[in-house]
Chain A
Amino acid sequence: MELEVIGQESGGGCSSSGCGSTDDQLSHLPQDIVDKVQNHPCYSEEAHHYFARMHVAVAPACNIQCHYCNRKYDCSNESRPGVVSELLTPEQAVMKVRAVAANIPQMTVLGIAGPGDPLANPERTFSTFRMLSEQTPDIKLCVSTNGLALPESVEELAKHNIDHVTITINTVDPEIGAKIYPWIYWNNRRIRGVKGAKILIEQQQKGLEMLTERGILVKVNSVMIPGVNDDHLKEVSRIVKQKGAFLHNVMPLIAEAEHGTFYGVMGQRSPEPEELQNLQDACSGDMNMMRHCRQCRADAVGLLGEDRGEEFTMDKIEEMEIDYEAAMQKRAVIHQGIIEELNEKHQKRTQIAGMSIPSNEPIIPADTRPVLMAVATAGGGIVNQHFGHATEFLVYEASPNGVRFISHRKVDQYCIGNDTCGEKESALDGSIRALKGCEAVLCSKIGFEPWGMLEDAGIVPNGEHAMEPIEEAVMAVYEEMITTGKIDEHPVAMKAQA
Chain B
Amino acid sequence: MAVEIVDLCVSCWACVDVCPSEAIAKGGKHMQVNAKKCTECEGDFADPQCASICPIENCIVDAGGLAFNPPGSLTGIPPELLAEAMNEIQAR
Contacts and interface: CB of A to CB of B under 8 A. Distances in A.
B92 A189 contact: no
A65 B55 contact: yes
B21 interface: no
A420 interface: no
Interface string B9-44: 011111011100000000000000000000000000
A446 B90 CA distance: 37
B66 interface: no
Contacts of A190: 47, 52-53
A121 B18 CA distance: 10
A267 B91 CA distance: 9
Contacts of B65: none
A269 B76 CA distance: 20
A262 B47 contact: no
Nearest to B87: A267
Interface in B35-92: 45-47, 49, 52-53, 55-56, 74-76, 85-86, 89-92
Contacts, number: 76
A61 B17 contact: yes
A183 B74 contact: yes
Contacts of A262: 75
Given A60-B11, A72-B10, A185-B53, A269 B92 contact: yes
A193 interface: yes
Given A190-B47, A266-B89, A121 B17 contact: yes
Contacts of A185: 14, 18, 52-53
A175 to B, nearest CB: 13
B53 A226 contact: no
A62 B47 contact: no
Interface magnitude class on chain B: 20 to 34
Contact of A62 (B52, B55, B75, B76): B55
A263 B53 CA distance: 20
A351 B10 CA distance: 57
B35 to A, nearest CB: 22
A263 B14 contact: no
B45 to A, nearest CB: 5
B76 A267 contact: no
A409 interface: no
A17 B10 CA distance: 45
Contact of A268 (B16, B45, B75, B90): B90
A125 to B, nearest CB: 12
A87 B75 CA distance: 26
A123 B13 CA distance: 13
Contacts of B91: 227
A120 interface: yes
Interface in A38-79: 60-63, 65, 67, 71-72
Interface string A360-396: 0000000000000000000000000000000000000
A155 B76 CA distance: 35
Contacts of A189: 46-47, 52
Nearest to A189: B52
B25 to A, nearest CB: 14
Given A185-B52, A268-B89, A193 B14 contact: no
Given A62-B14, A183-B74, A262-B75, 16 more contacts: A60-B14, A61-B13, A61-B17, A63-B14, A72-B10, A72-B56, A116-B13, A183-B76, A185-B52, A227-B89, A266-B85, A267-B86, A267-B89, A267-B90, A268-B90, A269-B92
8 contacts: A116-B13, A188-B18, A188-B46, A189-B47, A189-B52, A267-B89, A268-B89, A269-B92
